[in-house]
Amino acid sequence: MSANAIQVIPSNAEGMSTPEPGLRRQVMSYSPAMMMVRHTMQKGWVGARHSHPHEQMVYIVSGGIRFEHPGGVFEAKPGDCFLVPGGVEHQASALADSEVLDIFTPMREDYAGA
């Protein structure tokens, strides 16, 4: 594919990976500078507390999540968006069956191979 080619990546539930129980992931599109990832979470899912060097922009498509970070705890609902700076420890949990779009910069090499 040429450098100027644009490719549509369809939403594909069958192609999603399951990195842990209750969480499904589809890497949508990426370049070395950024990556978009679609996550679906089952109600009650609790992610591991973690940090990564990437900046992460989070957009809630549906459902709702609880988000914990060193500055506090908040709930995010559909249409909400927030930015997680690189290196900040955080943890998310699903208050309902949820779909979230995450944009990382730079791209996550650990997700690119999944």
Cβ neighbours of residue 10 under 8 Å, at least 6 residues apart?
A: none
Instruction: Give which of 8, 40, 37, 13 is closest to 24, Cα–Cα.
Output: 40
Q: Per-residue confidence at 1, pLDDT binned at 50, 70, 90?
A: very low
For 47, the 3-state DSSP assignment is coil
Locate the domains of the chain by residue range. 28-112
Q: How confident is the model at residue 95 (pLDDT cuts 50, 70, 90)?
A: very high
Please tell me the predicted confidence (pLDDT) of residue 7.
Answer: 85
> Model confidence over 29-87: pLDDT tens digits?
999 999 999 999 999 999 999 999 999 999 999 999 999 999 999 999 999 999 999 99
Query: Yes or no: is domain 28-112 CATH 2.60.120.10?
Result: yes
Q: Is the pTM of this model over 0.85?
A: yes
What pLDDT sits at residue 3?
A: 61
